[in-house]
């Protein structure tokens, strides 16, 4: 895929449902504490994303070429490994490009091919070229011991299943509240979120029945993408990115107009440390993209500017998050800010145009339609990796049918049973997201660097290496994770007391 499409995947993963819940946490914690927490969470998330990209590159280097040391040599040289792997790596390249790459390799000194870090062109092959698709569990299996690998897999599966359950609940719930009794007159347009589940919605159909109808339609329309390659929904990703900017622009312009007219009624506090746990959790969830990254990055054809692209995505998301949250806390009173911020804007008192209200109301459906297949394919790939040792897992019915069904069935069953799963998703998200974001990547990069230096020498330069090479950054990420886990635990224990 094109680099722009790959960055659209990453943007949609980050700028997803997190933006919908973040403003309420911002208002609860105070604008200063929330701003500092958001900036620190996203900054460390960027650090660990670069760690993960470097770990993927090291994993590709570990599997490149022959796995056995040649007779008469103490270790395999990078040049030998690249020359052996050139046919596979260039099988999709044109003849001219193949010759150009081979010429670059042949003129390099022995042992320096993999050290072409920071070259202006992506033509030069390297043992660290990210040209193999692998899941996060492939990386943990490659570098972690068996106990760490199993724990990481469990955490990852719970995290993605929790996200899919949240997606499957949000879409039919938002559609039901928006379309239960659709109106074209703004004065008659109501908020149906307070209607009881057994109240009539469409003729004899109750609200809960309509919810399940929308859930069925959504899974029939979007669910099949889980059975196909992640590239099959690239147009959805691009469209969702455009919709994200449209919806953000609507909320941004509306907030500016309200504040310019002096109608803003928000008086945000500076800080409320009692709300820090909810702020920390919301900011961490808003910054995560690590589960999808190993699936997306290998599909990008030209990775010359991969690092710059990721940085631009993080900077853009940070600016959008911070701008919207600060505007919202000055526009709406703290007590009126809803858990899903679109509810505040999708009213005639704020946006007196029915068409725009429906655009805001349908945004959740569009956004989830982009994120659901990506997370579903990621979970399916990880399930396949877990059971790869069993021969039956490679059979077509198991590989193409059973694994995708295992991805969809559990969250679908929960979503059919209830739409009040905030506590379940909150608990799994608070713990698993922190682990995936701030524990797995720094641990992977530490072990992968150690292995790469042992295999290629201490002077090896890893292609796509993180700019954060000092051990301080690894320790900082792990400490940040520990703080998050402790704070989340204290918060949930106090809420149960």
422 or 329, greater pLDDT: 329
**Reported confidence tier of residue 197, pLDDT bands at 50, 70, 90:** low
How much is the average pLDDT of 288-295? Answer: 77
Residue 452's pLDDT is 87
Please state the three-class secondary structure of the chain as a single string: CCHHHHHHHHHHHHCCCHHHHHHHHHHHHCHHHHHHHHHHHHHHHHHHHHHHHHHHHHHHHHHCCCCCCCCCCCCCCHHHHHHHHHHHHCCCCCHHHHHHHHHHHHCCCCCCHHHCCCCCCCCCCCCCCCCCCCCHHHHHHHHCCHHHHHHHHHHHHHHHHHHHHHHHHHHHHHHHHHHCCCCCCCCCCCCHHHCCCCCEEECCEEHHHHHHHHHHHHHHHHHHHHHCCHHHHHHHHHHHHHHHHHHHHHHHHHHHHHHHCCCCCCCCCCCCHHHHHHHHHHHHHHHCCCCCHHHHHHHCCCCCCHHHHHHHHHHHHHHHHHHHHHHHHHHCCHHHCCCCCHHHHCCCCCCCCHHHHHHHHHHHHHHHHHHHHHHHHHHHHHHHHHCCCCHHHHCHHHHHHHHHHHHHHHHHHHHHHCCCCHHHHHHHHHHHHHHHHHCHHHHHHHHHHHHHHHHHCCCCCCCCCCCCCCHHHHHHHHHHHHHHHHHHHHHHHHHHC
Residue 472's pLDDT is 95
Distance of CA 66 to the CA centre of its chain: 34
**Reported confidence tier of residue 117, pLDDT bands at 50, 70, 90:** very low
**Reported confidence tier of residue 39, pLDDT bands at 50, 70, 90:** very high
Residue 187's pLDDT is 54
Cα separation, 455 vs 461, in Å, equals 12
For residues 473 and 438, is the Cβ–Cβ distance under 8 A?
A: no
Residue 426's pLDDT is 59
pLDDT > 90: what percent of the chain?
12
Residue 120's pLDDT is 40
How much is the average pLDDT of 90-111? Answer: 46
Residue 110's pLDDT is 43
How much is the average pLDDT of 380-391? Answer: 77
């Amino acid at each position: 895929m094109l680099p722009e499409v790959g960055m659209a995947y990453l943007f949609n993963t980050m700028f997803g449902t997190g933006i919908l819940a973040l403003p309420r946490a911002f208002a609860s914690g105070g604008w200063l504490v929330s701003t500092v927490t958001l900036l620190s969470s996203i900054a460390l998330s960027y650090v660990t994303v670069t760690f993960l990209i470097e770990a993927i590159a090291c994993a590709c280097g570990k599997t490149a070429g022959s796995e056995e040391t040649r007779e008469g040599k103490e270790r395999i040289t990078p040049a030998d490994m690249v020359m052996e792997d050139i046919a596979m790596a260039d099988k999709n390249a044109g003849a001219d490009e193949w010759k150009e790459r081979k010429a670059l390799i042949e003129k390099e000194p022995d042992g320096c091919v993999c050290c072409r870090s920071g070259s202006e062109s992506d033509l030069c092959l390297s043992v660290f070229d990210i040209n193999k698709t692998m899941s996060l569990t492939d990386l943990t299996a490659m570098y972690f011991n068996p106990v760490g690998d199993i724990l990481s897999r469990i955490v990852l599966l719970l995290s993605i299943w929790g996200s899919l359950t949240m997606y499957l609940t949000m879409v039919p719930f938002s559609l039901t509240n928006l379309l239960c009794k659709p109106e074209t007159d703004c004065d008659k347009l109501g908020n149906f979120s307070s209607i009881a589940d057994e109240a009539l919605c469409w003729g004899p159909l109750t609200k809960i029945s309509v919810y399940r109808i929308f859930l069925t339609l959504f899974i029939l329309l979007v669910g099949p993408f889980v059975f196909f390659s992640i590239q099959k929904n690239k147009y959805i990703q691009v469209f969702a990115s455009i919709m994200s900017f449209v919806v953000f622009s609507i909320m941004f312009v509306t907030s500016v107009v309200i504040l310019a007219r002096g109608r803003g009624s928000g008086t945000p506090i500076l800080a409320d440390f009692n709300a820090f746990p909810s702020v920390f959790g919301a900011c961490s969830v808003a910054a995560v993209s690590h589960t999808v990254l190993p699936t997306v990055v290998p599909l990008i054809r030209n990775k010359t500017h991969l690092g710059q692209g990721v940085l631009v995505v993080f900077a853009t998301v940070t600016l959008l998050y911070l701008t919207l949250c600060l505007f919202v806390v000055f526009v709406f009173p703290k007590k009126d800010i809803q858990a899903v911020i679109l509810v505040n804007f999708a009213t005639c008192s704020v946006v007196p145009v029915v068409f725009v209200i429906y655009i805001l109301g349908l945004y959740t459906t569009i956004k989830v339609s982009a994120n659901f297949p990506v997370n579903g394919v990621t979970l399916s790939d990880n399930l396949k990796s877990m059971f790869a040792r069993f021969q039956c897992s490679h059979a077509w019915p198991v590989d193409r049918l059973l694994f995708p069904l295992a991805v969809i069935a559990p969250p679908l069953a929960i979503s059919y049973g209830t739409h009040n799963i905030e506590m379940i998703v909150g608990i799994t998200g608070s713990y698993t997201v922190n682990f995936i974001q701030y524990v797995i990547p720094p641990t992977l990069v530490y072990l992968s660097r150690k292995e790469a230096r042992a295999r290629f020498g201490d002077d090896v330069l890893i292609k796509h290496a993180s700019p954060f090479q000092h051990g301080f950054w690894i320790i900082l990420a792990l400490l940040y994770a520990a703080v998050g886990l402790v704070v989340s635990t204290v918060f949930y224990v106090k809420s149960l007391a």
